[in-house]
């Protein structure tokens, strides 16, 4: 019974204080093989050069990730204009 309470306490603590997982979103995908050959893809590349270096020697190609959404930039307020 004590063991059960200890495990339950650990699980509740982990859930209460754990950080949520966040999906990564990168702009470049390496496509290995093809759709008809059962090839895979990896959309975890920040630059085109990084993608090309990874797929070198394995075949395939690099393409833009169509699901990529860049992080929001800083909001710039319009310049202040006084009314005259």
What pLDDT, on a 0 to 100 scale, did the predictor assign at position 6?
82
Mean pLDDT of 46-69: 91
Residue 48 forms part of a structural domain: yes
Range of the domain at 57: 23-64
Is a pLDDT exceeding 60 seen at residue 65? Answer: yes
Structure tokens at 61: 């190609």
Please indicate, yes or no, if residue 42 is contained in any of the structural domains: yes
pLDDT of residue 5: 83
The verdict on residue 81 lying in a domain is: no
**Does residue 10 lie within any of the structural domains?**
no
Cβ partners under 8 Å of residue 50, min gap 6: 28
**70 belongs to a structural domain:** no
- The answer, as to whether pTM is greater than 0.75, is no
What are the CA-CA distances from residue 39 to residues 17, 35, 84 (Å)?
39, 6, 65
Q: Is residue 36 part of a domain?
A: yes
69 lies in some domain: no
d(CA 60, CA 40): 10
Counted domains in the chain? 1
Cα 27 to its chain centre, rounded Å, is: 9
Residue 37 domain-assigned? yes
């Amino acid at each position: 019974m004590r063991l059960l309470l200890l495990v339950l306490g650990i699980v509740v603590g982990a859930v209460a204080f754990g950080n949520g997982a966040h999906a990564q979103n990168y702009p470049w995908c390496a496509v290995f093989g093809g759709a008809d050959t059962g090839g895979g893809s990896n959309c975890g590349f920040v630059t085109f050069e990084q993608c090309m270096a990874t797929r070198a020697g394995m075949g395939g190609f690099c393409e833009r990730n169509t699901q990529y959404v860049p992080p929001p930039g800083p909001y710039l307020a319009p310049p202040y204009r006084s009314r005259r």
